[in-house]
Amino acid sequence: MSAFIQQLPALIGVVIGALGSYLAIVRGDRARFRREQTARWEERRLAVYADYARSLKKSVTLTYRVASYLGNDPHPHPLSPQEAEPLLAEATLARDPSGETLILLGSPEVVERARTWVVGVMEMEQFLREGTRDPQAWQTLLERQRAGREGYYAAVREDLALPPGHSARWPLSPVPPT
């Protein structure tokens, strides 16, 4: 029995060491799992945010082209309202699913900024459906839409802890009349 008692401290040391090693591995695995899960969700949110922006930008580009046809915008590729109607409907239908995914996965701030942006785009679409020919009013709508887009991107960057980005306000030189 005395040999067992003499070896008991070593045996206890081995058990404590094994238990400590096990706990350290479990804790490390949990931390790694949380980091990987967070990274996956951030990647997914980035994809959702970009998809929503892309789908909304399709509508914006079409409105520029129709506005050009009506004489409100200098876009180089005018498109008649009749030609644009099915394209605008398609773009609107395409942005609905991405908007729902945005609501599901986006932060409240990003979703609110997305709402501001899409309302501006919807106002532009309404302006064009009415066949309005008023370049000044169109410029006001453009500025509102651009501010909405800028706010959306700023909220996305903040949500994903990205560095500040470009405002995307690129002044274009005036197009000379032909």
Q: Specify the pTM.
A: 0.78
91-130 pLDDT, tens per residue? 999 999 999 999 999 999 999 999 999 999 999 999 999 9
- Where does the pLDDT of residue 26 fall: very low under 50, low under 70, confident under 90, or very high at 90 and above? confident
Residue 46 scores a pLDDT above 70: yes
69-97 pLDDT, tens per residue? 999 999 999 999 999 999 999 999 999 99
User: Taking the CA of residue 64 as centre, how many other CA atoms within 13 Å lie in the half-sphere pointing to its CB?
Assistant: 14
Q: What is the DSSP string of 145-172?
A: HHHHHHHHHHHHHHHTTPPP------PP
Q: Is the dihedral of CA 74, 77, 83, 87 positive or negative?
A: negative
Q: What is the pLDDT of residue 169?
A: 67
